[in-house]
Structure 1
Amino acid sequence: MARENIDFGIDLGTTTSIIAVATADDATVVRNNRQAEYTPSAVYVSGSNKVLVGESAKGRLVEDHDNATAEFKLQMGKRDAHKHFKASGRSMSPEELSAEVLKSLRGDVQQAVRESIGAAVITVPAAFELDQCDATRKAAELAGLDFAPLIQEPSAAAWAYSTHLATDRGFWLVYDFGGGTFDAAIVKVADGEFSTINHAGDNFLGGKLIDWALVEGLLIPAARKEFPLPDLARGHRKSAGNIAKLKAAAEYAKIELSRADSAEINLRLNDADGTPVFDFDFELTRADVERVAMPLYQRSVTLCRKAVADAGLGGGDIERVLLVGGTTIAPALRELLADPAEGLGIPLDYSLDPVTVVARGAAIFAGTQRMPSRPERAEQALGEGKVVLNLKYPAAGSDTEPLVGGLPPRTAQQRDWTGSTIEFAHPDGTPPWRSGQIPLTPEGTFSTRLRADEHTVNTYDIELRDAQGTVTPTDPERISYRHTSKMGTAPTLSHSIGVALDNNEVLWLVRKGAELPATARAILYSTLTVRRNERTGLIRVPIVEGERSKADRNMLIGRLDIVPNQVDRDVPAGSEVEVTLKIDTSFTPRADAYVPLVDEEFQIQVELGRTGAGTDFGGAVEDLADRFTELADRLDALRFGDVHPGEAAELVDRFRADDVLADVRRLADAAAVDPDAASTCENRLRDAQAALDDVEAALVFPELVTSGRTAVAQTQELIADFGASRHRTALHNAERAMEAAIASQDRTVLKRQIDVVRDIIREVLRDSGQLAAVIFAGREPRLRDNPDPHVQELLQNGRRALDEGDVARLTAVNAQLERAAPDAVGHADASGGLGSTVRAGDL
């Protein structure tokens, strides 16, 4: 019998990958051909183009690094990222490399249970961006997994623990410190359901950073001191072989030091000609590892605290911390997390194996997910004379009496179902159970409740009888229902998605934490005229992903360009552009733009993939050096003295204390030969640029305070003359919130309250009939010298309407002026940010 549910879950990891299969009440890891529970995420390609995966490939990383690769997960989503295998001349993308790992896991299932699977749930870090999720789906397709729903790793871990913990209500913190990424997720448990309510993570914080810290901070200096290896460095191409040896030795020693106080590193390093001649011996201690790892551990604690605080909770609200990922085995990390002052001070739970828990949870989740319907199977069943049932019932749930309903079944010839019955039998139940014969309506419909044993998979045989009592074969012949005490709810979005505007700000459409699927719409306005005959102008709608206020600090994930030959008439500036964004439960986005003037819908090309950086994996390494120089210049320009705000000085001090510049410089140097360093460098650069944005924003905080208080005073005068009691109440509330923001130096809240006050001004002006006059008075001086005759005619009409007090006509004139001369409204042109030529409305 073909599987009714997916049942298989895969943890596609940075350093190791694991596949598990759902059982009646849990999940079991499928061992590989070496009888190991996990497979290293490593690929080797020989000169004859033979591909090896796993431990055998990882073993070649040291001696044949030109033809082996690992830790390519974080390159996922980069369009130009490829690994070139020297011996075979073959190049493979990160998706193709990941596909080889997935094929290996499929082969393990074939060998272990004699089953060729075409579907599996695959995990992704919660901090993964949409292009990385899309790349994971592509890897699954290349590996022969035609159906591969995604689940975030913290959610998978929660699924695993949900089958073991008796908690009925409370909060968990999933602490997932893997080989390449870190995730902190707040999980709420209530009423038989658990859901992720907040998340904080870092795609570039993982156990491999500890390995590199050991290599660069301890092993390289020791080797250079002992041997004539002046060029031994992560960023030097001729040192690649030696660096690979040191990296592998550091990783193995680190793992050993989770259980021992010291570990010996003994290896032979190559000379300048690549000949192994230098015997390098080094004793690495647990204290060494703890010293270099502690800053990384502390970064993870900071992210955990942020996740807890942003969820509106305190440490005392969290029942337990679920430890996930191999890094959490380290004793020093556990001690830090348990410390109430330096760590979290929340009870730690590592009752499930931190290394395999994500794969097991993915499999448990897979056991609740139906396999996709196959139309060809139904047609085959009809050809065999079977009745194809159309049943509606849950795949899993906490109900011990699940409801099953039947819609009209399909048969080769139409028939009347009067007198027919259907019966469900659960012979393996405790005790065995039968539903009894349930009459069908003439159309063949019915509904009934089944009886399910708890914490297991219940399988029900189906017996369909015609009016004479003869059993009729059906498809399906049986159905199953998994009873579980807790069910996960809908997945949530990890990063906000919005439209980049012409002023380099973002109009967010779907915010981080929104339940999926999600749909959002927004009305925007073009800022340039598209002239068909003159072939000039452009409507550009960029779609970005992230949280940063400046559009170009976020990830560009899609863009629509409407050019003159795509429209059948001119589209003047100020024309409406309605953008619709949809995101499904597997984090796949779709975006469309509708332009009412031409009555046409355009699909926004969401090309999920970013430009890479690095040599073997493609990209412009020089750009990283240029961006580093720009970053250094910005920091140098921010010279602080007593006259500068305390917050700005504190931000710069923190920036310097974290040694961000040195970190970025080191990564930029290494990027020439190390694609992983290039990816990390790009991320650190973007974070550093955003941090300096915050510094510059802090410098203008006093100006914001003055602007806000001035707006309040002006609004008070306006309300005294034209306002109502509701306006006074709204202003009083906004002023209180503004003063609280000033006291706490919260720029975000202060800016929001200034906008609220301005909205109150607009409302008072609108209610008093003065808004149109104010808008016209603001535009008229800027347009007085405009050479366009149409603009001058509109200005004359506006002046007459103003003199005559014709509010409706003046409102119409303002709208026409906005379309005819949008630059006068005060919006930026297309040269800023991401080249966007759309803006939000004025009101």
Structure 2
Amino acid sequence: MRDTIDIGIDLGTTNSAVAEAKGASAEVVRNAQNLEFTQSAVYVSRTGSVLVGQKAGARVVSDPDNACAEFKLRMGRRDQDKVFEASGRTLSPEEMSAEVLKSLRLDVQRRTGEPIETAVITVPAAFTADQTAATSRAAELAGLRAAPLLQEPTAAVWAYTADVEAPDKGFWLVYDFGGGTFDAAVVKIEDGEFTVVNHAGDNSLGGKRIDWAIVEDYLLPRLQQDHGLTDVTVDDPRYRGVLAQLKRLAEAAKVELSQQERVEIEAEIRVDAGRDVEFYCELTRDDLADIARPLVASSIRLCRQSLSESGIPTTAFERLLLVGGSSQLALVREMLADPADGLGIPLDFSLDPMTVVARGAAIYAATQRIPREVRAAAPAAPGRAQLNLEYSAAGLDPDPLLGGRVQADGVADWTGGTVEIRNTTTMPPWTTGAVALRQDGSFSVRLRAPEIATHSFTVTVHDPAGTELATDQASLTFQRKSGGMGGAPTMSHSLGVGLIDNTVAPLVRRNTELPSTGRLNGLRTTQAVDRRSGAGLLRIPILSGEHARADRNTVVGQLVVRSDDIERDLPLGTEVEVVVRVDSSFGIQAEAYIPFLDAEFEIDVDLVRTVLPDLADLRAARAALDARYHDLRSQGDQIRASEALARLDRLDADGILEEIDRLLRQSEADPDATATCQARLLDADSALDEVDELLELPKIVEEGREAQGIANEVVAEAGNGRYTDELRRAEAELEDAIAEGNRTVIERRTNEVRSIAIRVFEDNGQLPLIRFAALESELDGDPRREVQRLLGDGRSAVAAGDLNRLTGVNARLDRFVDRSGGGSSTPSILGDGLLGSGGGQ
């Protein structure tokens, strides 16, 4: 068995590639057609046999009922299974991706002559938790017993640092424009090691978006005009076949235009049964530039976002690495090189953008030992001693540490036994000499790897009697590198707990190094759970995303504790602790601990996305977005809110609303456009949330000032020094929140100021009077007879000074107050407590 994994796979949206580590570098493994990459397409015959690659891709147009491509972005969704009509087989996106992985694995086995049980698989840096989990499931379905995941930009840096000497210190920017996704990653290099310190990305910004833009803006209008086919439109499901043919032509033309100035497009288009038309047009590089410019501009905005978040100026960057097939477009390189409209960072495309990720994954794989569980599963030769070795397979250290333990049947005490490690690469061979084993068979030693090379070591073990033992691992390798060692992977998307005020308490933030553990203490329930009545519910949602509002993020895990799940009642205000753990391949585990019960609950992390909305729902959401946009602009104009209006202008300039309309049209023909449209609607709503905050902020600040005034008056009248000190602290926190401009925190601090005044009223017995005054103001015009009767009773109690009676009236009136509207339907957690379904405070 190999000592290190060595195999790297770039599982792409359009094409996939596999490479094998060779020394400090890597070689792409060609497929049976002698191509360096395999099209990510699957065809299922009527007998149920599966065909993968270019031949399958050709059938996506000619036989779409039995072929499928570009399914990578649908992994992790519940509703994206493909039914292959001829055979009746149904495959999920994970199962189709597994077929691609099987094909690549077979290519490697054909080349090496050995079974491949482990491989490193790359994922976009912007992939969500459910998409990375789905990639791991696909690897398992493909028969890979272990498949560490590596982010694509990181893989590219591994490739670029393999054959060239990286700077001792500096910054690189990775620009990864693939077939289906875009990633921008800021890479810091220091002392020969590199780390991704920030990234931004878009899971739906890729070359296929350019293909669809070519279809809608250029090819389809020509087809309509030249043949009078005005009824053939993007949003008419009857002509999905026509659009699939045009999309295929667009993709081929785009690739050709990366090498030449113009291309002739000529094909026979089947419009419907019995009707074919001859289609011809010419597409130039300038035409393509006009079509693709908005999408390339979006990728540059994401680069700038990543630079802005990291706080590093463009002048600090030594090079910009071009990765992915779409980065080969002349327009991309022209726009990036422009210091005004682009980035002005020197471009580096010395490695093939189509295969650089697979090469980098293999180079990284050569630094990763085959996992112990895979080794342990291999059949052991009888009579051999077992060697459990701990060491790094690669590094910068010329004296790497090796630790281990020898185990063998019949040997309980290894005192007197020895181990010797020899470096057979150096001349003359270097040796540790006989190193004494401890009683339990363990040992530790420093190796010698003086040259920058892959060093081979032999391991010889003698038992306490001096007899040499055959072992299950007689050799090992260590790759001494001069630089280019990558740091820990980083978190793609933040994880947190949803709070009842619709904010998020962070657990693990984006860009945190992995593995990582996030912990939240001091959360408290906002609803009691009663075992006898069955009333109450505790619900804890784990959210993924960067949106400030909890309901804009994705629920990836949820704990629900009902009355029959606990051994005793759970009082209001019970403390809860939440812990989440993320491993180096982005796997998530979460749990909650309730000290009052001394009980731990596993949080169900369900990394499968919900069913996509239908087009009618998306169109309704688009109409609601439009109405909200115009309402906010009207408000901004009325109060001359310059910052809010500037945000709306930025939304216009970015063209998000026009993009949503385009995606709605494309959704009839492209399944991925539906998911992208949903994501863009969420982005637009989040942008409008910020505008809403800016418009509401002055009102919220004014309410805070009013609360301060009332509280100061009440506390001064009470003359209680304890309340005076408490109010001063609360006022200082309110002022800090106002200075930060955080609406949610301002509201929370305002409520804390009000609560001080309320407690003063409680102390002096005035709270029932205050409460009744508020209810009377709200319900005075209510036509219901019972309401008016209760108001009369309350006034009578006030006149009589009967506060006990007034308290009862208040409780009955409170039932008539309309509490509908507002708030999120998302189950969430209060700022310092948890909320179950059914409301709370």
What TM-score comes out, normalization by structure 1 length? 0.86
CA shift at 1:288, angstroms? Answer: 0.8
440, 443, 448: which is aligned to 1:446? 443
CA shift at 1:69, angstroms? Answer: 1.3
Provide, for residues 111-148 of structure 1, a one-character-per-residue CA deviation record: whole Å limited to 9, x for no partner. Answer: 12212211111111111000000000111111111211
| Paired position in structure 2 for 1:812 | none
Task: Tell whether the 8 Å contact from 2:700 to 2:746 is kept in structure 1 after alignment.
Answer: no
| Paired position in structure 2 for 1:417 | 414
Provide, for residues 792-836 of structure 1, a one-character-per-residue CA deviation record: whole Å limited to 9, x for no partner. Answer: xxxxxxxxxxxxxxxxxxxxxxxxxxxx9xx99x9x999943432
Q: Distance in 1 between matches of 2:476 and 2:765?
A: 69
CA shift at 1:708, angstroms? Answer: 7.2
| Paired position in structure 1 for 2:223 | 223
Letter of the structure 1 residue corresponding to residue 131 of structure 2: Q
CA shift at 1:595, angstroms? Answer: 2.9
1:682-697 equivalences under 5 Å are 682-697=678-693
Q: Distance in 2 between matches of 1:379 and 1:673?
A: 48
CA shift at 1:471, angstroms? Answer: 2.1
CA shift at 1:704, angstroms? Answer: 5.1
The alignment status of 1:833 with 2:824, answered yes or no, reads yes
- Alpha-carbon distance change, 290 to 601 in structure 1, aligned in 2, over 3 angstroms: same
CA shift at 1:464, angstroms? Answer: 1.6
Task: Tell whether the 8 Å contact from 2:737 to 2:745 is kept in structure 1 after alignment.
Answer: no
- Alpha-carbon distance change, 580 to 772 in structure 1, aligned in 2, over 3 angstroms: farther
452, 468, 473: which is aligned to 2:470? 473
| Paired position in structure 2 for 1:204 | 204
CA shift at 1:491, angstroms? Answer: 1.2
The alignment status of 1:303 with 2:299, answered yes or no, reads no
| Paired position in structure 1 for 2:779 | none
Task: Tell whether the 8 Å contact from 2:128 to 2:493 is kept in structure 1 after alignment.
Answer: yes
Task: Tell whether the 8 Å contact from 1:83 to 1:91 is kept in structure 2 after alignment.
Answer: yes
For these two proteins, the number of residue pairs brought into alignment is 785
CA shift at 1:461, angstroms? Answer: 0.8
Task: Tell whether the 8 Å contact from 2:498 to 2:828 is kept in structure 1 after alignment.
Answer: no
Provide, for residues 5-36 of structure 1, a one-character-per-residue CA deviation record: whole Å limited to 9, x for no partner. Answer: 11111111111101111111111111101111
508, 517, 520: which is aligned to 2:518? 520
CA shift at 1:489, angstroms? Answer: 1.5
| Paired position in structure 1 for 2:233 | 233
506, 509, 512: which is aligned to 1:508? 506
Task: Tell whether the 8 Å contact from 2:530 to 2:569 is kept in structure 1 after alignment.
Answer: yes
| Paired position in structure 2 for 1:621 | 615
The alignment status of 1:461 with 2:431, answered yes or no, reads no
1:223-262 equivalences under 5 Å are 223-262=223-262
| Paired position in structure 2 for 1:193 | 193
Q: Distance in 2 between matches of 1:170 and 1:723?
A: 55
Q: Distance in 1 between matches of 2:198 and 2:823?
A: 33
472, 492, 495: which is aligned to 1:494? 492
- Alpha-carbon distance change, 533 to 268 in structure 1, aligned in 2, over 3 angstroms: same
Task: Tell whether the 8 Å contact from 2:581 to 2:590 is kept in structure 1 after alignment.
Answer: yes
| Paired position in structure 1 for 2:134 | 135
| Paired position in structure 1 for 2:639 | 643
Secondary structure (helix, strand or coil) at the match of 2:506 reads strand
Percent of residue pairs bearing the same amino acid type: 46
CA shift at 1:536, angstroms? Answer: 3.0
Task: Tell whether the 8 Å contact from 1:236 to 1:670 is kept in structure 2 after alignment.
Answer: no
| Paired position in structure 1 for 2:352 | 353
Q: Distance in 1 between matches of 2:304 and 2:707?
A: 36
Provide structure 1 residue ranges, at least 5 long, that are not aligned to the other structure.
Answer: 614-618, 742-746, 787-819
CA shift at 1:573, angstroms? Answer: 3.2
What TM-score comes out, normalization by structure 2 length? 0.86
> Is 574-583 or 165-174 further displaced after alignment?
574-583
Provide structure 2 residue ranges, at least 5 long, that are not aligned to the other structure.
Answer: 776-810, 835-841
CA shift at 1:62, angstroms? Answer: 1.7
Q: Distance in 1 between matches of 2:632 and 2:746?
A: 28
Q: Distance in 1 between matches of 2:322 and 2:244?
A: 29
- Alpha-carbon distance change, 372 to 638 in structure 1, aligned in 2, over 3 angstroms: same
Q: Distance in 2 between matches of 1:102 and 1:274?
A: 36
> Is 710-719 or 140-149 further displaced after alignment?
710-719
Task: Tell whether the 8 Å contact from 1:301 to 1:337 is kept in structure 2 after alignment.
Answer: yes
Letter of the structure 2 residue corresponding to residue 833 of structure 1: S
- Alpha-carbon distance change, 188 to 267 in structure 1, aligned in 2, over 3 angstroms: same
Q: Distance in 2 between matches of 1:775 and 1:147?
A: 63
Provide, for residues 65-86 of structure 1, a one-character-per-residue CA deviation record: whole Å limited to 9, x for no partner. Answer: 2221111111111012111222
CA shift at 1:457, angstroms? Answer: 2.2
Secondary structure (helix, strand or coil) at the match of 1:58 reads helix
CA shift at 1:730, angstroms? Answer: 12
Task: Tell whether the 8 Å contact from 2:185 to 2:196 is kept in structure 1 after alignment.
Answer: yes
CA shift at 1:555, angstroms? Answer: 1.1
| Paired position in structure 2 for 1:436 | 433
1:257-272 equivalences under 5 Å are 257-271=257-271
Task: Tell whether the 8 Å contact from 1:43 to 1:69 is kept in structure 2 after alignment.
Answer: yes
- Alpha-carbon distance change, 384 to 667 in structure 1, aligned in 2, over 3 angstroms: same
Q: Distance in 2 between matches of 1:245 and 1:687?
A: 31
Q: What's the RMSD between the two structures over aligned residues?
A: 3.5
The alignment status of 1:397 with 2:377, answered yes or no, reads no
Task: Tell whether the 8 Å contact from 1:397 to 1:486 is kept in structure 2 after alignment.
Answer: no
CA shift at 1:588, angstroms? Answer: 1.0
CA shift at 1:698, angstroms? Answer: 1.7
| Paired position in structure 2 for 1:406 | 404
- Alpha-carbon distance change, 600 to 467 in structure 1, aligned in 2, over 3 angstroms: closer
1:598-677 equivalences under 5 Å are 598-613=597-612, 620-640=614-634, 641=637, 643-677=639-673
CA shift at 1:439, angstroms? Answer: 2.7
| Paired position in structure 2 for 1:169 | 169
The alignment status of 1:79 with 2:78, answered yes or no, reads yes
- Alpha-carbon distance change, 479 to 220 in structure 1, aligned in 2, over 3 angstroms: same
